[in-house]
Amino acid sequence: MAADPPLIALNGARLAFGGGPLFEGLSLTLSKGERACLVGRNGSGKSSLLKIIAGLQDLDAGQRFLQPGASVSYLPQDPDFSGGGNIADYVAKDPTGGPDAPRHAVDAALLRLSLDGERSLEGLSGGESRRVALARCLVSEPAILLLDEPTNHLDLPTIAWLEGELQRFRGALLVISHDRTFLGNLTNTTLWLDRGKLHRLDKSFSAFDAWAETLRQQEAEAQHKLERQIVREERWLQRGVTARRKRNQGRLTRLHGLRAERAEWLRQVGSAKLDTASSGRSGNLVIEAEGINKAFQTEHGPLPILTDFSTRIRRGDRLGVIGPNGVGKSTLVKILMGQMAPDSGKLRLGSQVEPVYFDQRRESLDPEATLWQSLIPDGGDTLLVRGRQRHVVSYLKDFLFDENQARQPVKALSGGEKARLLLARLFAKPSNLLLLDEPTNDLDMETLDLLQEVLDDYEGTLILVSHDRDFLDRLVTAVIAMEGEGKTLEVPGGYSEYMQYHQTRNRQARDEARLEKRQPAAKAATADKARSRNKLSYKDQRELDALPGRIEELTAMLAKLEGQLADPELFTRDPAGFARVTDALAKSRSELSAAEERWLALESAREELAE
């Protein structure tokens, strides 16, 4: 079967800002059914390329082809809501000037994304803004869908819903995202924009790391061959260029070309150098919360955030906090660090605890201050980082800022740059407790990987609020899930272990509900049979006699398994062993429940016969 013709294509595309080109000679095609991701470092030109494909930015050279009649829908990183009005009108409006979407389609999109169409666009939160912009993209059912960081500020249930919607999308999809799990679950094509060149892999993003490593290895081998060739050329020239200068000018020119090629190979976009300052060890107990209650008053009455919440956080714990937007994750963090008082309950901070807090709204950055002033508000040109003086420009370079940006105001920075600046300021402070509220928003994947490595090596205690499933799985040793209406659940492991536990718990609840419905009939049937024989059968009596021992054995097994799972280092030390213990725990719980139900049925029957 012939492949579908491309819905959109670029050929020989070139784009430059100021100095050298971001890319040139770039070609790209997208066809129906392709779900592609565009990956690359921040500043490599991904968002610009997406705008060019959308027709919102012109090329310096090259051609853009759009199949006649094909519609394009584009989600920017920062949607513009300056026009005012309500959500429904914004969603219905075609940004390209075409006809508005029909009302029934708008209502369906708003329903799927839990949005009130009559609500004003003013005062929307980050997550609400993203859902409104997504509704506008999806309502028109475009042939080509272009999404720039669609999961930013979305909670985990909405991300899961979006994955399902996009998997069912039958047009051409191109998405930029730092969410590895989202891309791995969704895509079937990977595009890598690296130093001005676009590489293509016709596989999901889950194959990206191995593929990128292969390309890097091939590049290193080619570079090694080039260096050896340069050495040979230099030796030859040292012997012959003086005596035969005229006839060897061509060879000298070729050497200069090889050196220029080598310089281009060595040109790399800098890697952020993240590290944390330690203030020494805290006490073994970092935070103890007992019976914490917190609620906010609303026009509909009290909204519970925490109900009888208790936890103990020890030195070295890595705790992830998850839950839907608006459920109170940031409130929980602020209570744990002592910034907000609970309505009732006890909170105790351990000895010598020095916390630092990364706030998801970046509110601690003064938009009018320069980057220099943000790091050294009291003046000067050096700051103390991990016990040694660093020049502010040198330290900013560790976080991918150049010297010219040091005197620029914070308000001129992109979202990712603000996140890096806040991390730079955060990591310069001595601490033994890090509280990070959505630190992964707007960071590129390489900075995310580096941040994960730094946090993994951090000697203190970490509390992390995040919707990034891969980041949680790589980093945390336990998860506190805020499930709404004040309910919380603490599970050892990462996000995957929480989901496994959540699914097991739901399955057990369904099984128990079915058992409760069947139990009266089962008891009656057991009693009828017993009465017909006036005593338990030999087989039933033997089973009844053996069940207490079996119940005791299963209870001891549960205690042993729960003790193993209480080890906070088990998942990090032995992920496979952690999975085996978790599976064994679920199986033992199910067997214990069945044994207790069977003992109850047999004992009831025996008692009735004895009357």
Averaged pLDDT in 10-residue chunks for the chain of 611 residues: 77 83 91 94 85 92 92 88 86 79 87 87 83 89 92 87 90 94 94 91 91 84 75 56 47 52 47 57 83 88 91 88 89 91 92 82 79 89 82 88 88 80 83 88 77 81 91 88 91 87 79 69 56 66 81 79 67 68 74 76 71 58
Q: How far is CA 421 from CA 97, 371, 375, 377, in A?
A: 38, 7, 8, 14
Q: Provide the H-helix boundaries in 566-574.
A: 570-573
d(CA 16, CA 22): 5
CATH class of 285-492: alpha beta
Q: How far is CA 98 from CA 72, 73, 332, 486, in A?
A: 11, 12, 46, 46
C-alpha closest to that of 154 among 333, 321, 323, 303: 323
41: annotated binding-site residue?
yes
> What pTM was computed for the model?
0.70
C-alpha closest to that of 79 among 43, 118, 127: 127
Same fold, 6-210 and 285-492: yes
Question: What pLDDT score does 280 carry?
Answer: 59
327: annotated binding-site residue?
yes
Q: What ranges do the domains of the chain cover?
A: 6-210, 211-266, 285-492, 497-610
Its sign, for the CA torsion 371, 374, 375, 376, is positive
404: annotated binding-site residue?
no
Cα angle vertex 548, ends 545, 551, to 5°?
140
517: annotated binding-site residue?
no
The answer to whether the CB of 420 falls within 8 A of the CB of 399 is yes
d(CA 399, CA 416): 11
Question: What pLDDT score does 426 carry?
Answer: 82
Q: How far is CA 77 from CA 48, 129, 134, 151, 153, in A?
A: 11, 11, 11, 10, 11
Instruction: Supply the DSSP symbol for 431.
Output: B
Buried b (16+ CB within 10 A) or exposed e, 196-235: bebeebeebbeebeeebeeeeeeeeeeeeeeeeeeeebee
568: annotated binding-site residue?
no
587: annotated binding-site residue?
no
d(CA 101, CA 167): 22
Question: What pLDDT score does 262 carry?
Answer: 46
Cα angle vertex 137, ends 146, 326, to 5°?
105
Q: Which segments of 474-585 are extended strands (E)? A: 478-484, 487-492
Instruction: Supply the DSSP symbol for 411.
Output: G
416, HSE (Cβ side, Cα atoms, 13 Å): 19
The answer to whether the CB of 48 falls within 8 A of the CB of 10 is no
Residue 542: count of CB within 10 angstroms of its CB: 11
323: annotated binding-site residue?
yes
d(CA 449, CA 446): 5
45: annotated binding-site residue?
yes
DSSP string, 171-231: SEEEEE-S-HHHHHHH-SEEEEEETTEEEEESS-GGGHHHHHHHHHHHHHHHHHHHHHHHH
The answer to whether the CB of 421 falls within 8 A of the CB of 374 is yes
Strand 35-39 with 487-492, pairing: unpaired
Question: What pLDDT score does 266 carry?
Answer: 41
Question: What pLDDT score does 480 carry?
Answer: 92
Strand partners, 431: 278
Question: What pLDDT score does 25 carry?
Answer: 92
d(CA 158, CA 423): 27
177: annotated binding-site residue?
no
Residues in the chain: 611
Question: What pLDDT score does 371 carry?
Answer: 92
Question: What pLDDT score does 605 carry?
Answer: 73
Question: What pLDDT score does 80 carry?
Answer: 83
Q: Enumerate residues 6+ apart whose C-beta is below 8 A from 361.
A: 126
Q: How far apart are the first and last CA of the chain?
A: 78
12: annotated binding-site residue?
no
d(CA 545, CA 590): 20
329: annotated binding-site residue?
yes
Where does 497-610 sit in CATH, by number?
1.10.287.380
Q: Which CATH superfamily is domain 6-210 in?
A: P-loop containing nucleotide triphosphate hydrolases (3.40.50.300)
| Region for residue 195 given its phi and psi (left: phi exceeds 0; alpha: psi -120 to 50; beta: otherwise) | left
Question: What pLDDT score does 141 carry?
Answer: 83
Residue 324: count of CB within 10 angstroms of its CB: 18
Question: What pLDDT score does 94 carry?
Answer: 81
Which contacts of 135-138 are long-range, i.e. CB under 8 A and separated by 24 or more positions?
A: 135/87, 135/91, 135/106, 135/109, 135/110, 136/73, 136/90, 136/91, 136/93, 136/95, 137/73, 137/74, 137/75, 138/73, 138/109, 138/165
6: annotated binding-site residue?
no
